[in-house]
Amino acid sequence: MKRVEYSINEIQYNLKKNIKSMIVVFAFIFLTGSCVGIVKNMNYGQQEFTLDDTIVETVDFSSFTEDERYYYNAFSELKNKYNALNAYALYLRQVDMSNESSNKLALFIDDLSQFKQANFDKLAGFYTYNTPIICDDMPKAEEFIKYNIGQNERKIAASDKSIERLNNHSFSKIFIQSSEAKELEKIQSAENEKEFWERQLNMIHSANLNEIEKINENMDQLLQNAEWELNGLVSLFNKFIIDIEEQEQYDIVYNKYLLKSYLTVAGVTGELSEEDIMNNRRNSAVIYAKSIAGLDMAKERVFSFLTFFMLFGVTVAFLYGFFYKVKK
């Protein structure tokens, strides 16, 4: 094999004599990269998403059947809607927006916090403590409550079995601790739910119908106030999203798996199953900035081509200058 050796003096001499050629090599490569970038820019089209619906729907309790499930469904709808708005707000805080949009978001978060303190917490406390239920058909009401007690007992048993399986297999300690913590969290949530239904069962057995109706009237008033306030926040949020689409040029992408993670961040644990989330399109809109989504823009592609060919041109030019021998 033939060896080619260069001394420092030879490299310095080549570099000195090849300066003009190096400039030509660099200019040729850089201009080629510029042409490629321009052509790519002209032919590039941002991927388009087919969107189902880009707004959050308002709450409408009048669409619910007023039977033994009414207050449970109404409270769940209100809670999920509030948690979804809170999750979107938490997400948007991570998005790079203009000062104007950031200020609007801060005001919306303040309004959401005031709603929680003035309406949601009061409603949640009343619902949890007084366990309102419509008892027009007492056997059906009792059957509904017992069904939910059984559901939570099955959840607890399933989590206990999962913990037992974890301890009977040779998983890593970190995996066992993490998985066990999740199962214990599910157990605690199911136990709280079970306790709620048991108190409700005791209430319909011990209280008279007049007392139950009075509790229900108070619950109706709280729901009405919360519905009106929350729908105002939903309208404000939808207007904010329109402003983002127009001013920030962000896409709204439906990503239900991201929604699940943000609902978890918002504090919804054990109260909304994965199946519920995947099937609930009303709460599935996640605001997804192009930069975070990994979606590049045409201008960014041009700069990336220019940067690459500039560095490539510098490298090739210096290699040419170092090692191309010039006759002395």
Q: How confident is the model at residue 2 (pLDDT cuts 50, 70, 90)?
A: very low
The CA distances from residue 28 to 14, 25, 135, 302, 314, in Å, are: 20, 5, 84, 17, 11
Q: What's at 298, amino acid-wise?
A: A
The share of the chain scoring above pLDDT 70, in percent, equals 74
Of residues 270 and 27, the one with the higher pLDDT is 27
pLDDT of residue 274: 46
The total number of residues written for the chain in this structure: 328
Q: How confident is the model at residue 268 (pLDDT cuts 50, 70, 90)?
A: very low
Q: Are the C-beta atoms of 286 and 88 separated by less than 8 Å? A: yes
pLDDT of residue 293: 39
Of residues 25 and 197, the one with the higher pLDDT is 197
DSSP lists the bridge partners of residue 285 as 254
Element (H, E) at 27: helix 19-43
Residue range 269-282: mean pLDDT, rounded: 45
> Which DSSP string corresponds to 252-270?
EEE-HHHHHHHHHHTT--S
Q: What's at 228, amino acid-wise?
A: W
pLDDT of residue 316: 85
Q: How confident is the model at residue 326 (pLDDT cuts 50, 70, 90)?
A: low
pLDDT of residue 213: 92
In angstroms, rounded to a whole number, what is the distance separating the alpha carbons of residues 139 and 68? 10
pLDDT higher than 50, residue 324: yes
pLDDT of residue 313: 84
pLDDT higher than 90, residue 256: no
Query: Which of these ranges, 80-84, 112-116, 261-265, has the smallest mean pLDDT?
Result: 261-265
pLDDT of residue 251: 53
pLDDT of residue 298: 60
Q: How confident is the model at residue 24 (pLDDT cuts 50, 70, 90)?
A: confident
Q: Per-domain residue ranges for the chain? A: 8-45+300-323, 61-293
Q: How confident is the model at residue 325 (pLDDT cuts 50, 70, 90)?
A: low
In angstroms, rounded to a whole number, what is the distance separating the alpha carbons of residues 230 and 265? 20
pLDDT of residue 248: 67
pLDDT of residue 277: 44
pTM: 0.62
**Phi, psi values for residue 285, rounded to 5°:** -85, 120
Phi-psi region of 249 (alpha: psi -120 to 50; beta: other; left: phi over 0): left
pLDDT higher than 60, residue 220: yes
pLDDT of residue 35: 86
CB atoms within 10 A of CB 36: 15
pLDDT of residue 19: 82
Q: Are the C-beta atoms of 290 and 49 separated by less than 8 Å? A: no
